[in-house]
């Protein structure tokens, strides 16, 4: 897992400026949650690729503006349907919009489809990189949580 994050350019304590993203997305009508902005600051602009053994392959491109700038109505629909604020996260597997809820739940949305990627951001990363990996997503998330405190 850490190999995939390192290959994407992540390092512990990484922080990027997200003011432009925040301005553009709020201007487009999104109601942003604090967890999303914290995740953007640490993982924004990265493309996290799956391990070579994950079939099918997967990726998560962390650019909420590029992926979702025109999807504020979709985020509102998710909020109404699930009762919590979903903020843009990026693009999952080059074609599906990814959102993160204030609770941490990560989902991907495509035409007439919704995929739960994880109940937390860490669990979603584990799924993107390893899939179910022969074990439960929760077990993978527990392992990764020890590497990424606070997620």
Instruction: Give the tens place of pLDDT for each residue, 82-116.
Output: 999 999 999 999 889 999 999 999 999 988 889 99
Kindly report the three-state secondary structure assignment for every residue of the chain.
CHHHHHHHCCCCCCCCCCHHHHHHHHHCCCCCCHHHHHHHHHHCCCEEECCCCCCCCCEEECCHHHHHCCCHHHHHHHHHHHCCCEEEEEEECCCEEEEEECCCCEEEEECCEEEEEECCHHHHHHHHHHCCCCCCHHHHHHHHHHHCCCC
What's the pTM?
0.86
- Mean pLDDT is lowest, of 28-42, 80-94, 104-118, 137-151, for 137-151
- Does residue 147 carry a pLDDT above 80? no
Number of domains in the chain: 1
Range of the domain at 44: 2-147
Average pLDDT over residues 68-75: 92
Please give the mean pLDDT across all residues of the chain. Answer: 87
Confidence of residue 29 (pLDDT cuts 50, 70, 90): very high
């Amino acid at each position: 897992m850490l190999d995939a994050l390192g290959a994407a350019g992540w390092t512990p304590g990484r922080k990027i400026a997200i003011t432009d993203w925040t301005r553009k997305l709020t201007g487009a009508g999104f109601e942003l949650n604090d967890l999303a902005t914290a995740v953007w600051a640490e993982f924004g602009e990265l493309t996290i690729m799956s391990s070579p053994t994950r079939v099918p392959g997967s990726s998560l491109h962390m650019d909420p503006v590029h992926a979702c700038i025109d999807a504020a109505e979709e985020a509102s629909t998710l909020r109404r349907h699930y009762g919590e604020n979903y903020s843009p996260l990026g693009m999952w597997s080059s074609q599906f919009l990814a959102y993160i809820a204030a609770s941490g739940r990560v989902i991907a949305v495509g035409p007439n489809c919704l995929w739960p990627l994880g109940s937390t951001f860490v669990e979603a990363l584990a799924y993107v990189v390893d899939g179910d990996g022969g074990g439960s997503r929760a077990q993978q998330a527990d392992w990764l949580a020890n590497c990424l405190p606070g997620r």
